[in-house]
Amino acid sequence: MDESRSLVERLAAKMLSVGTWVATAESCTGGNIAHRITLVPGSSAWFKGGVVSYTNEVKMKVLGVPSDLIEQYTEVSHQAAEAMAEGARRATGADFAVSTTGIAGPTGATANDPVGTVYIGVATPDKVVSQRMVFGTDRERNIERFTIAALEMLLANV
């Protein structure tokens, strides 16, 4: 079985058992997390929706990420991932939200963040957390790895 499908099925069971909702805010995964969620039948009972915020303009206008946060920390940071997750939670009315921002590749590396870097944020009713991970340089593989890591982190915080 596909690893992401198994994670989504576990997430669905958890969300349905407590009657809560989830949303996504994706940059470097380009909507792949939302796509994986909606492949599972019945996801409309616990998935509110998602925002693909590929540009800073969308991060700021739709998700409410402050421009000074992006200027100070960049859009690829713990702070941006956390603000994106909280923005998705707020915008959709979901109980939980997960976000991804990073560098899938093959270009875009910085001195601090090589290709394959992702920051994942999770917003819950009680907290907002983030994690930085670094994978390889293959774009398609990175998007899938980022997706799985985000689903795992979301599941661990629900």
Q: Which two tokens stand for residue 150?
A: 């985000």
Pairwise CA distance, residues 42 & 62, whole Å? 27
Residue 99 contacts residue 84 (beta carbons within 8 Å): yes
Each residue of 40-67: pLDDT tens digit? Answer: 999 999 999 999 999 999 999 999 999 9
DSSP state letter for 147: H
CB 25 within 8 A of CB 80: no
Determine the pLDDT at residue 32.
Answer: 98
What residue spans define the domains of the chain?
Answer: 3-157
Residues 68-126 have pLDDT tens digits of 999 999 999 999 999 999 999 999 999 999 999 999 999 999 999 999 999 999 999 99
The owner of tokens 């870097």 is 117
* CATH fold for the domain made of 3-157: Maf protein (3.90.950)
- Which pair of tokens denotes residue 34? 């939302």
Q: Does the pTM exceed 0.75?
A: yes
CA 6, 16, 81, 101 torsion-angle sign: positive
